[in-house]
Chains A and B, each alone.
Chain A
């Protein structure tokens, strides 16, 4: 099978990612923003910016206007290259006003007086592109980053899996559609040709709104991605001036009348190598290789770390609910693609003046769903106040493990099988709100002393196997008339951490039971325990120590 390459270019990636609502929360955006604006008029949408170092999201200096998402979408907004002072990205409103890519700032401002300008950050673009590559990685594993705006996908190994080219392109389009990005795509049998035959692509949602909003200025209407037809390298009139060749070599080619790549490829290879420089021969040799040259292969990260910067400064937790959901949605996608689950999340909250604090959210049984992590995070945050206005939010997933398939036993009672929350999820929710030490379970330890024999251990660190799994056995079927079971009734259900002096009258209901601590540990103590009924007829578990003092240690509740 011949190689088949798809080049997808995103000319306005930063703007589109910032202005488009997140797919999962599209219906909630307006409501939440309205609530937020009621609370604080200066609040506007958070800006997602990726971190170039380790695939996370990072800070970008921004002078964005203080508007909500729905307002920002209607403003003429451009991203400007701070070195050349030329327009790099522009929104559809600015495009409709006549502003174009590469236009100078002076001319753009002359066309549109209320133009909003933000600085363009190539590193942000690169990391956003990596995010898109990660999104498409489970559709096509052979992905290359071409510059900071385009992705190169090799499709031919995947065609058999998807049952044809049209189906494969449809799947890719489905992945990109929720993001509502403007993009162009080219399909060719060569990696170089794919990037030179880009055509504007529309999605179903974009087609319903306005095809004129597309970034391309082409007169032809945008195509759907699955309508692309493969092109050949020899058919595309690629100008030689746009090839990565030295200027001297290009000038030589122009002198002999060669302007386009097909003209060059039509010449015998031996003649070209004899008459021109070695650079051109080397370039032609590279063209024959299957692997693309001058691009970076994308390898997905094994750790999840995303950062989000606010261009406004939220002062209450409810202001960042949407930002939390956005990051958790990315986490869910990350975990789902890898069949993983996380047991702990670490939220980093950074203020404008280098303040920083962390919040750990734990789920003993492991979670991967956004809604569950969001509920746990909200409960965790509800117990504390936001100490300062936030500038940055970072999420790290820790303790990743392979997801355990929860198999349901056919013989489980209907109530247990259809429970909204599993035991592990319930414990995680309780600990998130009440703290890791609030939920305890009794555990035995090898000690004869009553106060040390049984202790309450926190569920936070380690969960008992019975809690973390759904291995619900049948009912214990204990019979209280059984002698083996009745012996448990001889111990008090409740025990005070330190014995209290026994005061008042009463009567002894049982014989003395001597319990001594081991002498070899150096602290030898003898206690004679008995059941005591006081004047109020309460049942207490008391003891007499070696000095014949009486203490109350437990109660039969």
Chain B
């Protein structure tokens, strides 16, 4: 097979060309540098973590500025409305499915509908290559990103993901390690300190003000 055929099929990328594709700044300078400019806007992004370490916080600036519905599919607990800014809260929906197949079907429908701004999917079973490819096609056709949250796994097939980022919570902050980045070499890492991710946690006065503000806002 010729090189240009491989390029047409998306199996080989030109590095310069891929850098020029549309990316959305993450809101964190260190992460932008790590991802060559930001998140890819309509592709598959995998976050590998043990959970509850602020992984959604990485997408928060992006989620707050995009159009369309944001779907949380099978999150480990219920969405808490108080954490969602009022401007985007009507566009945030949670889907709970009974089976893995239903979760994949829902994700595909949301991605290719064109009405979704982003789809966040928690999976407890590993994806096959063909499943991943199908979701990728749906993300491309609907121009919608899929944020895939998976637990750490020892052995796994390489999947056609645009970004695969492994998160490790440390006392200092969140350690980000690039497992895969389409169009770039892998292995880079950076540390996002907790203060940058959650600036209010160690500010007691701000927390108290927040409480009264929210209560009066009801």
Contact = CB atoms under 8 A, between A and B. Distances in A.
Contacts of A35: none
Given A476-B88, A509-B202, A496 B113 contact: no
Contacts of B88: 476, 478
Interface stretch (B10-18, B90-98, B126-134): B90-98
A421 B113 contact: yes
Interface string A24-62: 000000000000000000000000000000000000000
B80 A491 contact: yes
Interface in A376-432: 413, 415-416, 418-423, 425-427, 429-430
A499 B9 CA distance: 50
B109 A429 contact: yes
B200 A487 contact: yes
A91 B23 CA distance: 67
B104 to A, nearest CB: 12
Interface in B139-156: 142-143
A419 B114 contact: yes
Contacts of A429: 109, 113
A439 B95 contact: yes
B interface SS class: mixed
A557 B52 contact: yes
A244 B207 CA distance: 93
B113 A454 contact: no
Given A416-B114, A444-B81, A511-B208, A557 B76 contact: yes
B207 A510 contact: yes
Contacts of A438: 95-97
B183 interface: no
Interface stretch (B66-74, B158-166, B184-192): B66-74
A82 interface: no
A485 B95 contact: no
B81 A454 contact: yes
B52 A540 contact: yes
Contacts of A420: 112-114, 142
Given A486-B200, A536-B169, A538-B51, A421 B114 contact: yes
Interface string A484-505: 0111111111111100000000
Contacts of A531: 198, 201
B19 interface: no
Which of A475, A487, A538 counts the most B-chain CB atoms under 10 A from its CB?
A487
Given A442-B92, A538-B51, A413 B201 contact: no
B85 A434 contact: no
Which of A420, A425, A494 counts the most B-chain CB atoms under 10 A from its CB?
A494
Contacts of A434: 95, 97-98, 102, 106
B78 A494 contact: yes
Nearest to A514: B211
A422 B115 contact: yes
A513 B211 contact: yes
A275 B51 CA distance: 104
Contact of A456 (B78, B202, B211): B78
A337 B207 CA distance: 60
A48 B57 CA distance: 58
Nearest to A413: B67
A453 to B, nearest CB: 7
Contact of A539 (B54, B67, B106): B54
Interface in B97-126: 97-98, 102, 105-106, 109-110, 112-116
A339 interface: no
Contacts, number: 218
Contacts of B214: 487
Contacts of A513: 207-208, 210-211
Given A456-B94, A459-B93, A513-B211, A493 B64 contact: no
Nearest to A494: B77
A141 B202 CA distance: 76
A493 B122 CA distance: 14
Interface string B14-42: 00000000000001000000000000000
Interface in A441-457: 441-444, 446, 448, 453-456
A556 B54 contact: yes
A426 B91 CA distance: 13
A554 interface: yes
A419 B144 CA distance: 11
Given A421-B114, A510-B204, A478 B85 contact: yes
Nearest to B209: A487
A488 B63 CA distance: 13
Contact of B79 (A419, A456, A489): A456
Interface string A292-307: 0000000000000000
A420 B98 CA distance: 26
Contacts of B171: 537
A418 B69 CA distance: 15
A477 B61 CA distance: 9
Contact of A433 (B82, B102, B210): B102
A494 B102 contact: no
Given A494-B77, A494-B78, 12 more contacts: A415-B142, A426-B109, A434-B98, A442-B92, A464-B90, A478-B88, A491-B83, A510-B200, A510-B204, A538-B52, A539-B53, A555-B51
17 contacts: A415-B142, A427-B93, A433-B105, A434-B95, A476-B65, A480-B60, A490-B206, A494-B52, A497-B78, A509-B198, A511-B207, A515-B211, A539-B53, A539-B54, A540-B52, A556-B52, A556-B53
